[in-house]
Structure 1
Amino acid sequence: MKLSNEAKVGLMITIGFTIFIILVGMLAKINIARTGYTLRVYFGFLNDLRQGAPVKIGGGIKIGYVSAISQSGEKTEVTLWVENKYKLIQSSKFAIFTSGLIGEKYVNIFIPPSAGAEEFFKDGDKINGLDPASFDQMMMTFQSFMQNESGGQVLAEIFQNSKKFVMNLNKITDDNRHDIRQTIMSAKDMVANLNFQSKIMMGHVNTLSKNLSDLSEKNKDDISITLRNLSEISTNLNKITFRIEKGRGTLGRLLNEEDIYNNLKDASLAAKDLFRELKQDPSKLLFRSQN
């Protein structure tokens, strides 16, 4: 079925109006799908809190928003809408905080540790909130303090002490101007000397490195030959040790055959006795040779 131009225009207007209503509902924080309850919190100072501002637990979890602000006697009534799934114990504290230094204002709920079974806030309960400290209030307090006689005296003493401190600092600087200048000059000389010595040291290190490099380059062949000779000597020593352990050669037999070793030992002892007798009486050698 074909739609006429009027029907098309009417359908587009209806769709646009529906979208507009939904957007207005979202911007106005009208909760269609969620259910919640309202709490009335009274503050003496709002610090520029606006309708629609978020309500958070511990400055983090958003649990609702400010649905209305109205004046009620000396206090300002702030109506909070809170989701049903968040139950707040009656010892909770309500205060107005700021996100960052100059950010958005929001209602912060501090829930203290529960001391036992406590009752929860119900829909429509009235609560006294904690008033935030503003910069204007602090300035008014400071101004009131300064207008007081004691405040002016304290400020005068602060300025007087500051003046004395600056004068003493200037006097110390003037009295020790020569020493300070000498210290600075000594420090400059020391730094210059260190730079000079470091340059000399680096020159020596570079020279030593170059000499070592030249020496190793010049004696590269000799070093190679020496290493090869040491390797051959090590190989020969291994062979000799192996032959001695196997009893090969004269030294090997002497070390490994016990009879030969004992005979050599006896002969050595006999020769030792003979030399001792000849030393004591050399004439024995002559008589023995005549016989």
Structure 2
Amino acid sequence: MKRNYRELKVGFASLIVLALFYWGFGFLKGRNVLSSTLNSYYVTYSNISGLQKSSQVSINGFSVGKVLDIYFNEDPKHRGELIVEFTVEKQVYFSKNSIVKIASDGIMGGKSLVIVPSYQGDKATPGDYLKGEVGVDLFSKLDPLQVKMESAISSIEIVAKRMSDLLDEETITELQSSIKKINTVLSSVVSTSQSIDVLVKNNDDKLNKTLSSVEATSYNLKAVSDSLAKVKILSISQKINKTVANLEGITSGIATGEGSLGKLAKDEDLYNNLEAASKELEELLRDMKEHPKRFVHFSLFGKKEKKYKKTKEN
């Protein structure tokens, strides 16, 4: 009897150990076998970025479940995609339009699922497939910055090497000498500026008087130039008026018949006589061109001049 009782206790303890082992194994996988308050949902990814089973599932930073299983999609149309099954406590509410993101779970690089809840639309029911996205973690953000930093460091190293090659002992000595000369020049400039300040302060009254004299002189010159301009303009206007008066006298004399131009303009007989004389002179010149022998007689041997006989043409 005692032996049977002992065997019964050993068997009962073994069952308890097996139950605890099964519960712990399920808990690590995200399934609480002692609790029926969990719902399972699914999400599909082309790349899970290191997500593992039993990874944490959270909403607004609060843990609400775990990743239960990860396996490949057996549908030929979606070959290569991964299906992630995760559990969420029943009292958590979100709609089918919610998004499940794979996010970084700390600096150590662990991954977790983050549900971005949406409350628009129908309520998500156990077994629904939700939309999945892969979030950008800290290290992926730092990768471009790391590349830029490495490029900047390499550029700095190249510049430093070139500077070290350029700045030999002779160059450094020359630079030091140049800096000393620059310091000397700057000291001289400072001394000169101080001397100028002292000179200006000592002669402040004289400079003010000189500037006042220059201003008065410029004002007087302006007045003189304005007076000369007025006198010159007055003289020119008087000459123009005199010339206009003379022209008016000449034109009025011509209009009244005074002087040669006036008589020529007013005396029609004189004009007719001049016109007739010019016509006779023109006929005489034409006759001399056509019959020059009538007017010029020349002979080397003293030939007697023939008497002119008038022809019909003449």
Q: Work out which of the two has the higher radius of gyration on C-alpha atoms and give 1 or 2.
A: 2
TM-score after normalising by structure 2: 0.42
TM-score after normalising by structure 1: 0.45
Q: Answer 1 or 2: higher relative contact order, Cα 8 Å, separation at least 6.
A: 1
